[in-house]
Amino acid sequence: MILVKLGGSVITDKSEYRTFDAPGVAMLCREIKDSGKDVIVVHGAGSFGHIIAKEHGLADGYKDKSQIPAVAEVCRDVRELNGMVVSELISAGIPAVGVPPGSCFMMDDGVLSLGDAEVLRRFVDLGIMPVMFGDVVLDRKQGFGICSGDQVMERLCDLFPTESVVFVSDVDGLYSTNPKEDPDAVMYGVVTEDLLGNVESAMYVADVTGGVAGKMRSMLRMCAPGRDCHMINGKVPGRLLSLLRGEEVISTKAIGGD
């Protein structure tokens, strides 16, 4: 099994509320289909989730009743985004169904835990791809919290025998500084815990799920013997397909971790 996280930056315009990149997502879905691999897709919330969540402080949990309409709006928006991603997967010939994280997961003071895995396992056993996403989920201590797609990836990695983990972003990998602003930014082909600790944490975009450094930390935690973890640029045609086929591509590979 290969887990693929389609980041919010590659499926939406994160600066524009509810802006979906249908052609880009269609391309990535075709590449997943053409690879012939067993894949589960998780996707980020992008501009369908981060803008309202940040405005109302949803990542910090329940503070007052004024946040409740925002929780409902974010849940509505990310489900609509999920429906768009699922539609592109089906159009590419991949049987897929959206599964809201709250149907399987709970949070406990910000830590995501798996509740009932039967739904996910049964979909996979039937040959149907369960497609999960970044969402607002219930939290036993905080009332609610932001469940990132990265956190979902970690729990799925625990649940299924995973040979490879792929984070698809809009940059080639991890850089020393923001490559969109700094022409001298240096890309790292390999990242370790020690190296990550020396790299600025808010490198490309400030979002409610931890930014690029947070994704790298997730990758490091998912590292295991016999399991590759890569970050690649999904805006480059053919790159995801090549990686899924086991070919060498421009990427940052995570090594080590917890």
Tokens standing for 120?
A: 């996910």
Q: Which domains does the chain have, with CATH numbers?
A: 2-254 (3.40.1160.10)
Q: Which residues of 115-133 are buried (b: 16+ CB within 10 A; e: fewer)?
A: eeeeebeebbeeeebbbbb
Identity at 136, one-letter amino acid code: V
Cα–Cα dist 29/36, whole Å: 12
Map residue 19 onto helix, strand or coil.
coil
Quick one: pLDDT at residue 218?
86
Given the structure tokens 């983990």, which residue do they identify? Answer: 165
Quick one: pLDDT at residue 216?
82
Cα–Cα dist 231/226, whole Å: 17
Tokens standing for 93?
A: 């010939």
Quick one: pLDDT at residue 100?
95
CA distances to 95, 142, 226, 254 from 76, rounded to whole Å, are 23, 21, 38, 34
CA distances to 52, 61, 111, 196, 230 from 256, rounded to whole Å, are 35, 32, 22, 11, 13
Do the Cβ atoms of 223 and 162 come closer than 8 Å?
no
CA distances to 31, 99, 173, 213 from 250, rounded to whole Å, are 17, 31, 8, 18
* Strand-strand pairing, 252-254 and 190-191: parallel
Quick one: pLDDT at residue 89?
98
Quick one: pLDDT at residue 211?
67
Kindly give, in sequence order, each residue whose CB lies less than 8 Å from that of residue 9, ignoring residues fewer than 6 positions away: 44, 46, 169, 170, 204, 205
What does each of the 258 residues of the chain score in pLDDT, given as a tens digit?
999 999 998 999 877 888 999 999 999 999 999 999 999 999 999 889 888 999 999 999 999 999 999 999 999 999 999 999 999 999 999 999 999 998 889 999 999 987 788 999 999 999 999 999 999 999 999 999 999 999 999 999 989 999 999 999 998 988 877 787 788 888 889 988 888 777 654 444 444 445 677 788 888 888 888 888 999 999 999 999 999 999 999 999 998 755
Cα–Cα dist 91/152, whole Å: 24
Do the Cβ atoms of 215 and 3 come closer than 8 Å?
no
Quick one: pLDDT at residue 257?
53
